[in-house]
Amino acid sequence: MQVDGELQAGRSVGEQMQNRYYQGFVRGSLRIMKEEGLAGLMRGAVPGTLRDATYSGMRIVCLILI
């Protein structure tokens, strides 16, 4: 979703949004809820939380050492 349309530099934003599977955060979330349910929407919550916890932990350690 993040790089969707990034390679289409010559097209306007409106043209790029028409061909996207997820058209923004809200519409993407609603589409996932409709197609996969709450489990599909929450599927990325655990990896995202682990990534954020690791990043935050590394920042705290680095700040303490400086």
The per-residue pLDDT for range 3-24, each reduced to its tens digit, is: 555 555 666 666 666 767 777 8
CB 54 within 8 A of CB 36: no
Q: What is the pLDDT of residues 34-62, one digit of tens each?
A: 999 999 888 888 899 999 999 999 999 99
Structure pTM? 0.51
How far is Cα 26 from Cα 36, in angstroms, rounded to an integer? 15
Q: Is the dihedral of CA 29, 35, 38, 41 positive or negative?
A: negative
